């Protein structure tokens, strides 16, 4: 039987968005395989670097530690040899060019955009290598139709080679809300708008900073999760003086912040998917977003839209949620929309696409 290998190099990296999605998809497939009768299970192995920043939680997939390392050289030169007899699944934007029987998940084409905020070396490497990785793959998956169009238009992967694989958002309901965070941040009796901070240009947080300047949305306060005040100021941004900097939060704390917020502000100029609005909506938090990238595709009419360059548009949209009828409507439509995006569905879709790439005479046959 032709084995399936997962490229686990990303476990050596920090737990960022792409790596979290990759790990979650592997765990969903692990659950699906564990429920299959033993005689029908494909042979599935996860190839792991020796040094890891976080650990996979598996029941049916065999984890194999690769002592050779987790460098680009390992991925391009050694990994193809280790997985030579099987189908190699790569979920974190990178894959070995030499391995021809592979599946590649590209989360977006952001590395080709001038405001991507990628270091120039990384941008150059991605520009040179990713199109070759894509075109040497059996199939390329991506997380929105917008990203699929961009990969095609920018010459990374033709549309005929790509398929859609939406992310899930229901992980935010797998943990109980840790309401202590609101007390720790002094938010118990303070109405606030939540925003994910980032000094990257395409995240466009400056327009929300400007909307809150000079307390123009008082008594609402702006709570920023993630990036620090110093990082934003070093990038030339000017946060309002009364911003509450929450720093890094876990899912339990984030759920509590969503559930207590007046709204989520999500002003990105582009997104390959846009997970925070879905998380917020699933938690009953209305979202005000920019009509850019994949955001309208993912959110549809379950959110309020504001102009990417106009602070007054953000103020108007945020204030409009004071209207109880509008707020109630957006909470209901937001929950309904967000419930469509589950990790079980994403994992099942990925598993189906993987199985399509195996020779039909090897599926369910462990004799060969």
Q: Domains along the chain?
A: 4-168+343-356 (3.40.50.2000), 171-338 (3.40.50.2000)
Read off the DSSP letter of residue 323. Answer: S
Whether omega for the bond prior to residue 219 falls within 30 degrees of 0, making it cis, is yes
How many other C-beta atoms are found inside a 10 Å radius of the C-beta of residue 134? 22
- How many alpha carbons fall within 13 Å on the CB side of residue 345? 14
The closest of 82, 83, 91 to 8, measured between CA atoms, is 91
Backbone angles phi, psi at 122, to 5 degrees: -65, -40
Task: Catalogue the E-assigned strands of the chain.
Answer: 4-7, 44-49, 62-66, 87-90, 102-105, 139-142, 162-164, 192-197, 221-226, 244-247, 263-266, 287-289, 304-305
Backbone angles phi, psi at 65, to 5 degrees: -80, 130
- How much of the chain exceeds pLDDT 90, in percent? 83
Average pLDDT over residues 87-94: 96
Note the pLDDT of residue 368: 35
pLDDT, tens digit, 9 for 90 and up, residues 337-362:
999 999 999 999 999 999 999 986 55
CA angle in degrees (0–180, nearest 5) for 158-300-103? 30
- Per the CB < 8 A criterion, the answer to whether 130 and 136 are in contact is no
Q: Is the pLDDT of residue 367 over 50?
A: no
In DSSP terms, 135 is beta-bridged to: none
Q: Which two tokens stand for residue 217?
A: 């949305």
> Rounded CA gap, 131 and 155, in Å?
7
Place of tokens 């460098």: 71
Q: Is the pLDDT of residue 206 over 50?
A: yes
Confidence of residue 67 (pLDDT cuts 50, 70, 90): low
Average pLDDT over residues 110-124: 74
Note the pLDDT of residue 227: 86
Strand bridging mode 87-90 / 162-164: unpaired
- By mean pLDDT, which of 10-14, 118-122, 185-189, 277-281 is the weakest? 118-122
Confidence of residue 116 (pLDDT cuts 50, 70, 90): low
Average pLDDT over residues 244-266: 97
Confidence of residue 304 (pLDDT cuts 50, 70, 90): very high
CA angle in degrees (0–180, nearest 5) for 9-14-17? 95
Compute the mean pLDDT over every residue in the chain, rounded to the nearest whole number. 93
Average pLDDT over residues 133-141: 96
Note the pLDDT of residue 343: 98
């Amino acid at each position: 039987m032709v084995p399936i290998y997962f490229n686990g190099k990303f476990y050596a990296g920090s737990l960022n968005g792409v790596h979290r999605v990759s790990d979650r998809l592997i765990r969903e497939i692990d659950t699906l395989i564990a429920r299959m009768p033993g005689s029908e299970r494909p042979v599935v192995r996860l190839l792991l670097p020796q040094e890891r920043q976080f650990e996979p939680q598996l029941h049916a997939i065999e984890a194999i530690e690769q002592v050779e390392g987790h460098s680009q050289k390992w991925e391009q030169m050694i990994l193809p040899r280790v997985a030579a007899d099987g189908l190699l699944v790569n979920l974190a934007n990178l894959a070995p060019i030499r391995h021809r029987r592979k599946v590649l998940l590209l989360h977006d084409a952001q590395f080709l955009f001038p405001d991507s905020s990628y270091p120039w070396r990384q941008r150059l490497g991605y520009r040179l290598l990713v199109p070759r990785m894509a075109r040497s793959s059996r199939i390329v998956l991506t997380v929105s139709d917008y990203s699929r169009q961009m990969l095609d238009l920018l010459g990374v992967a033709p549309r005929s080679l790509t398929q859609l694989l939406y992310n899930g958002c229901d992980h935010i309901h797998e943990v109980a809300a840790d309401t202590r965070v609101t007390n720790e941040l002094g938010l118990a009796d303070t109405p606030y708008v939540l925003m994910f901070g980032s000094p990257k240009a395409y995240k466009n947080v400056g327009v929300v900073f400007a909307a809150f300047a000079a307390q123009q949305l008082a008594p609402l306060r702006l709570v920023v999760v993630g990036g620090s005040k110093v990082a934003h100021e070093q990038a030339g941004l000017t946060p309002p003086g009364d911003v509450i900097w929450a720093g890094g939060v876990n899912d339990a704390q984030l759920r509590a912040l969503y559930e207590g917020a007046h709204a989520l502000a999500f002003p990105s100029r582009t997104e390959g998917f846009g997970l925070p609005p879905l998380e917020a909506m699933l938690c009953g938090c209305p979202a005000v977003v920019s009509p850019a990238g994949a955001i309208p595709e993912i959110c549809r009419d379950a959110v309020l839209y504001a102009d990417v360059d106009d602070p007054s548009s953000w103020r108007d949209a945020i204030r409009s949620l004071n209207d109880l009828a509008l707020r109630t409507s957006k909470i209901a439509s937001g929950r309904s929309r967000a419930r469509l995006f589950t990790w079980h569905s994403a994992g099942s879709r990925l598993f189906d696409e993987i199985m399509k790439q195996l020779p039909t005479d090897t599926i369910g046959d462990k004799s060969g």
